[in-house]
A and B are shown apart, each in its own frame.
Chain A
C-alpha cells in the first residue's frame, strides 16, 4: 500500500471532520464532499498495487477491478448526496436568510427549568 495515498486519505479525513463540525452549512457540505473523496481514495488504496486499467486481455498486470467498481458507486452516491445537501442548504437560506445550523434548545430549556421543583413539572402541563 502506498504511504502517500494513505497520508492523502488521512489528510482529507482530518480536514473533512474539521469542516463538518462547523456551524455553517456551506462548510459542512464542503467537509462532506472531502470525506467522500477520502472514502473513494481509501477503497482505491486498499485495492492493492496500481496497475494498468482493468481491461480483460491485457498482458500487463492490471489493477484490481472490484474495488474500482465499488468506488465508482461511491462517487456517484456521494455526488447525489452532496447535491441534496446543497438543495437543503439553499432552502434553509430561503427560509432563514443564513445557513447556520442552530442548536435545538428545547431540552436545554427544560434542563434549566428553575421553578421550584415541587410543582414545576405539573406547571409545565399548563
Chain B
C-alpha cells in the first residue's frame, strides 16, 4: 500500500491532461457555467445554459474522438498516477455519456421554461454528474470508483428533488438519496473487505492477489472476498436498478422531473454498468467463476420482475421505469456473455460488442422516450397516465409517430437499434451456451412488447374522452412544444433508426469490445 501511495506521489506531477480531456471538459464546463451565470445574471434565464451545456458535451465529444484515435494506436494509457485508465472501452462509454448529456440538456431548456424554474443549477448538476460517470468508467482504484459513483449519484439525488412545486419530487429525491446512501455504504463496506482480504484497493492489485490465491497462496480469505464482491455488486446493482435492488426505481422515476429521469435512465445507468464491468473485469477477473452466477441471478430476476410488473401499470413513467429494469437485465446478460471464460478462446467478443451496443442504443432511445414524456407532461409534470396519451396521434401526429418509433425500438422491433441490441445480446448468450438466460430474455422481450404496444395503441386510439374541454389539454401541433426538446427527440429517433438499419460503426464497436475483453 505504501509503495503505491508513494508511487502516486512521484508520478502525480505528470498528468496527461489530454487523455482526461473529456472528464476535465465536463467538470470545468460545470464550474464555468455557474461562474458565468452568477457574474452575468441576465444569462440565466435564456438559452445560454442549455446551449453552453450542449456545447460542453459536444466539446467533450470532440476530445473523445481525438483520444479514440490516440489510444487506438498506443493501446491503454494509465493516467493520474495509474488511478485511471484510458482505453477504447473508456472512450466509448465516455462518448455515450456525452450523447446523453447533450440530449438531456436540450430537453431541460423547454422544460425549465414551462415549469418556470430558472437558473443554471440543473445544467451544472448534469455536467458534474456526467464527469462523475466518466471517472467511474475509467477508475482503476476502488476509492476512485467510489468517488466517481458518489459524484455521479449525489448530483442526481439533487436533480431528482429539484421540481420545487411537486411534493413527489422531494420525496423522490429523499428516497433515492437515502437508499442510495445506504447502497454506497454497502459499497464502501465492500471496499473495506476487499482491502482487508487483498491488501489493496487498486484493481490490478486486487487481481494480482486473486491470482496468488488461485496459485495456492492461502493468505487471501476467500469467504471475505466473496462477501466483498457481493457488496460491491449490490452497490452497482442499485445504480443500474437490477432486481432485487430496483425497489426505488418506479417511485423515483415517477416523482422526479421527467428530463432528469431521461438522464437517470441513460447516463447514470451507463456509468453504473461501465464501472461494474471495469471493477469486476479488471479487479475480480480471477474470481470470474464466483461472480458470474451473481450476474446471472440479477439478470434473470430483472428480466422476470421487470417485465411482469410493467404490464400491470397504468402510469407511463412507471411502466418505463419497470421496462428500464428489464433493459438492465438484458445488459447484464451482455456482461455475462462477455465474461465467459471460454469466449476468448473461441475468438468471440460478441458479448462485449452486445454489451456496448446495447448501452449506446439504449441510451439514445431511452433519452428520446423520456424526452417525449417531458414534452407531454404538461405544466407541473404530472400528466403521465395512459389516459394522457390517448388520441395523441390525432392531436400531434408527429410526436405520436416519434414516440412509437422509440417504443418500437424499446420493444426490439426490427429495423430499430433495439432489435439489433437485443439480438446481439441473445446471440451472444447462446454462443456462451447460456441457454436459460437467452430463453428468459426472449420471453421477457415478448411480455415487454405487449407493454410498449399498449402505449402505442392508446396513442392511436381515435377518441380522447373529455379531452376537449380540459383547461390544460395537450396543445396540438408541433410548434406548441419547445424547439430544443423536439430536436432532441428527433435526433434520438433518427439515431435509433439509423443504428437499426445501417451497418456502420462495426469497427468502432469491435475495437472497444476488444479493449474491454483485454481488461480481463
Among B174, B185, B188, find the residue whose CB has the most chain A CB atoms closer than 10 A.
Answer: B174
Q: Residue of A at shortest CB range from B250?
A: A107
Closest A residue to B254 by beta carbon equals: A106
**Which of chain A's residues has its CB closest to B173's CB?**
A88
Q: Assess the B178–A20 pair: CB atoms within 8 A.
A: yes
B12, CB-defined interface residue at 8 Å: no
Taking a contact as CB atoms under 8 Å apart, the answer to whether B170 and A88 are in contact is yes
Nearest CB of B to A34, in Å: 13
Chain B interface size, as a band, is 35 or more
Q: Which residue from A102, A104, A125 sits with its C-beta under 8 Å from B386? A: A125
Given known A-B contacts A106-B315, A110-B314, A95 and B178 have beta carbons under 8 A apart = no
Interface residue A1 (Cβ < 8 Å from any Cβ of B): no
Of the candidates A32, A88, A110, A113, the one whose C-beta lies within 8 Å of that of B181 is: A32
With an 8 A cutoff between CB atoms, is B383 at the interface? no
Contact among A81, A95, A106 for B170, CB-based, below 8 A = A95
Residues in chain B near residue A20, CB distance under 8 A: 178
Indicate whether A60 reaches chain B with its CB closer than 8 angstroms. Answer: no
Q: Is A15 an interface residue (CB 8 A)?
A: no
Beyond A106-B318, A125-B458, is A96–B178 a contact (Cβ under 8 Å)?
Answer: no
Query: Which among B47-55, B157-165, B273-281, B419-427 touches the partner chain?
Result: B157-165
Q: Is A121 an interface residue (CB 8 A)?
A: yes
A92 contact set on B, CB distance < 8 A: 167, 170-171, 174
Q: Which residues of A contact B251 (CB under 8 A)?
A: 104, 106
Cβ–Cβ contact B165 & A110, under 8 A: no
- Using A88-B170, A92-B167, A126-B387 as known contacts, say yes or no to A106 and B250 having CB atoms under 8 A apart: yes
Contacting residues, chain A, for B173 (C-beta < 8 A):
88
Q: How far is the CB of A106 from chain B (nearest CB, A)?
A: 6
- Residues B161 and A110 in contact, CB atoms below 8 Å apart: no
Which of B161, B178, B255 has the largest number of chain A CB atoms within 10 A? B178
CA distance A121 to B166 in the complex (A): 29
- Please, which residues of chain B bring their CB within 8 A of the CB of A88? 161, 170, 173-174, 177
Top 10 nearest A-B pairs by Cβ distance?
A104-B251, A124-B314, A92-B170, A95-B167, A96-B167, A125-B386, A125-B458, A110-B312, A91-B170, A88-B174
Can you list 22 pairs linking A and B with CB atoms under 8 Å apart?
Answer: A32-B178, A35-B185, A39-B188, A81-B154, A84-B177, A88-B174, A88-B177, A91-B164, A92-B167, A95-B165, A95-B167, A101-B171, A104-B254, A104-B255, A110-B312, A121-B312, A124-B312, A124-B386, A125-B314, A125-B390, A125-B458, A126-B465
